[in-house]
Amino acid sequence: MPSQPASLMVNVVDGTRQPLVTNQKLLIRVIDGNQKEQSADFHNGPTVRFDDLPVFDNFGDNYTVIASADGHLQSGFTPIPIRRGTVQTVNLMLLPRNGTFNFAQARWALLPKAFPKLFELLTNDLPDLNAAQQRYEGLIEAPERQPVLACLLNLAAAMSVIDLPDGKVLDYFQRIIWDDSMKQDRFFGWAKKALLDETMQAAQHGAFARELGFQLFHKNATDSYKQVQFGEANVQLTFHGDDPPPEDLPDSIKMEPDIDYFKDIGAHALLEVLPNAVEKVAGQSGLSDPKVVYVLRWIAGRRAGVPEFNPLYTIVPA
């Protein structure tokens, strides 16, 4: 075995994206690419450093880290390619088992400054701001509708930072469609037709990939492209070009954005909640969970070194 080892730093946060504070110790497992457990012990956390990890100079250097704590859902990430004489960092999020949404950052009064483009989309189809406020707050006040709002916030936050040749994805959205099609895994809306050309150009530069077989899961869709930046929680933009636009938005195209759990079968994040979620997706018997998307997008973003994913809500103990 080579004499010079590697190091690994593990940072653990809670559902508020702050360092995890708990009276219980963290159980952290560090497994090398040969599936040999290099460490499995309890730690005070929320930051734990592992030194003297063996380096093999082959696939054995693709490590896996799994963290768990009482009262929280397990989380992990793989592969983490370690290198001789370096310190790799992995950031994980542990949600409370009884977690619930906290929309304090997304209060109506805060939105105009906190997220002006979203506020525009929440209000521009109604002449009365009070009616728009009641509609929005109705999502917060009804527990069964909170996942719908979380999905909307996930997608808006994600699309607001996706670069196109000209602007961001969310810049092209003009209106949200408020009807029964708004679900916990997607919404429909109208966007400038130029969004399709911009997305196709972005695909030519490797930022998106055209989704094959999109018609199977997106009824009446005419095209679909998925972001490929992360291993998980990439935004998929599905276009419904045959749907006639509203009279006041003649140059618009109907859109169906959603966020898939995985880019491909080589998924990186390991979450306790994922096996059931994957089973639902595979059988089309359920809808993607916005809480899972929240964790996956945050972990993926931290790993990619991009600005922190902040959909203006957190997940706290019930």
- The residue ranking higher by pLDDT, 267 or 105, is 105
Taking the C-alpha atoms of residue 230 and residue 44, their distance in angstroms, rounded to an integer, is 30
On the question of pLDDT at 277 being above 80, the answer is no
pLDDT at 271: 79
Range list of H helices, 58-176: 111-114, 116-123, 129-141, 146-159
pLDDT at 41: 97
What homologous superfamily is domain 6-93 in, according to CATH?
Answer: Carboxypeptidase-like, regulatory domain (2.60.40.1120)
Sheet hosting strand 47-53, strand order edge to edge: 47-53, 6-13, 87-93
pLDDT at 251: 97
Query: Mean pLDDT throughout 266-278?
Result: 66
Residue 268 — pLDDT band, cuts 50, 70, 90?
Answer: confident
CA nearest neighbour of 173 among 199, 203, 193, 202: 193
Q: Please, what is the average pLDDT of the chain?
A: 92
Please state the domain extents for the chain. 6-93, 99-317
Q: Which residue has the tokens 């929240």?
A: 294
pLDDT in tens, 174-224: 999 999 999 999 999 999 999 999 999 999 999 999 998 898 889 999 999
On the question of pLDDT at 285 being above 90, the answer is no
Residue 281 — pLDDT band, cuts 50, 70, 90?
Answer: very low
Q: Which residues, including other chains, have CB under 8 Å from residue 220's CB and lie 6 or more apart?
A: 240, 242, 243
On the question of pLDDT at 278 being above 90, the answer is no
Residue 119 · residue 112 · CB < 8 Å: yes
pLDDT in tens, 126-146: 999 999 999 999 999 999 999
The pTM (predicted TM-score) of the whole model is 0.93
pLDDT in tens, 60-76: 999 999 999 999 999 99
